[in-house]
Amino acid sequence: MTKNKSDKRVALVLGGSGGIGKSVIDKLVEQDYAVAVHYSANKGKAELLVDEIINNGGEALAVGGDVADEVTMSQLFDNVISAFGGIDVVVNTAGIMKLSPLSTLNLSDFDQIQRINVRGTFVVSQQAALKLRKGGSLINFSTSVTRTSFPNYSAYVASKAAVESLTLILARELRGKDITVNTVAPGPTATPLFLSGKDEATITHLSQATPLERLGNPEDIAETVAFLAGPARWVNGQIIFTNGGLA
């Protein structure tokens, strides 16, 4: 863990210890960012990633906590600022997905999805709005299923539709602060979250659903995040469908 103020741009990646978050971390480190790797439960995995980054000459910090707890997130943001001197980019990949027909979904599962995906995004976005430096970027995450409307995704898509609306409004509320707010909406991407509970036939079908005839890779999504985090200063208040042409 670094304890020195960084001269680099600083990124905080929520859910940074695995899946798309890990690829985002790798891409931003490649582009010479100092990074804070957030975890909710897997502290060991986050710390291993941080050690790897530091051993390769980078700057990194592991930070843990419940994204839906406003006190925890406020302290987490302050800890990152204390360590690095500020925050320039917040990427919120943290989220959960549970699939079920609406008619049989357990409402406790519904409540958990909304708490993490909606309240968590709201809390993180609130902290980002208050604490990002000028020239900063907030990047939230949705899903292309808000447009494709696949069966069994009702609770998950409801949460992500809320994220999209939150993003569009916050971008306008931050007028004059030189902070961009966008959402990335991946299509079928080969991550543990996506692959969990799907049989081989379903995965094969989804891999053929795009004109590129493959699943996305976490690296594909990280490329879009890196663009929004850095050079894309004229992209603001947008939902970026990173899905290989999925209709």
pLDDT beyond 60 at 2: no
Amino acid sitting at position 49: L
Task: Classify residue 66: in a domain, yes or no.
Answer: yes
The per-residue pLDDT for range 99-135, each reduced to its tens digit, is 999 999 999 999 999 999 999 999 999 999 999 999 9
Compute the average pLDDT of residues 29-44: 96
Instruction: Please tell me which residue in 33, 39, 153, 156 is annotated as part of the active site.
Output: 156
Task: Classify residue 31: in a domain, yes or no.
Answer: yes
Residue matched to tokens 């020239």: 135
- Kindly provide the residue ranges of all beta strands, DSSP E only, lying in 119-208, ordered along the sequence: 137-141, 180-186
The per-residue pLDDT for range 6-35, each reduced to its tens digit, is 899 999 999 998 889 999 999 999 999 999
Q: Given pLDDT bands bounded at 50, 70 and 90, which one contains residue 4?
A: low
Task: Classify residue 36: in a domain, yes or no.
Answer: yes
Q: Cα(169)–Cα(62) distance, rounded to whole angstroms?
A: 30
pTM above 0.75, yes or no: yes
Q: Given pLDDT bands bounded at 50, 70 and 90, which one contains residue 176?
A: very high
Mean pLDDT of the chain, nearest integer:
93
- 206-211 — which CB contacts under 8 Å span 24+ positions? 209/246, 210/243, 210/244, 210/245, 210/246, 211/244, 211/245
Compute the average pLDDT of residues 132-141: 98
Amino acid sitting at position 241: F
Task: Decide: residue 44, CB within 10 A, 0-12 exposed, 13-18 middle, 19+ buried.
Answer: exposed
Going by the DSSP 8-state scheme, the letter that residue 189 receives in this structure is B
Q: Cα(123)–Cα(129) distance, rounded to whole angstroms?
A: 10
Going by the DSSP 8-state scheme, the letter that residue 141 receives in this structure is E
Task: Classify residue 30: in a domain, yes or no.
Answer: yes
Take residue 123 and report the two structure tokens written for it.
């809390």
Q: Check which CATH number belongs to the domain holding 80 and give it.
A: 3.40.50.720
Closest CA to 220 of 61, 210, 51: 210
Q: How large a percentage of the chain has pLDDT more than 70?
A: 98
Q: What is the pLDDT of residue 208?
A: 82
- Burial 100-114, CB ≥16 within 10 A → b, else e: beeeebeeeebeebb
Task: Classify residue 3: in a domain, yes or no.
Answer: no
Task: Classify residue 207: in a domain, yes or no.
Answer: no
Q: What is the pLDDT of residue 76?
A: 98
Compute the average pLDDT of residues 64-69: 98
Compute the average pLDDT of residues 211-223: 90
Q: Show the domain range for 236.
A: 10-188+222-240
pLDDT beyond 80 at 206: no
Q: Cα(226)–Cα(247) distance, rounded to whole angstroms?
A: 24
Q: What is the pLDDT of residue 196?
A: 72
| Counted domains in the chain | 1
156 catalytically annotated: yes
pLDDT beyond 90 at 182: yes
Compute the average pLDDT of residues 228-243: 96
Compute the average pLDDT of residues 39-48: 94
Task: Classify residue 204: in a domain, yes or no.
Answer: no
Task: Classify residue 162: in a domain, yes or no.
Answer: yes
pLDDT beyond 80 at 1: no
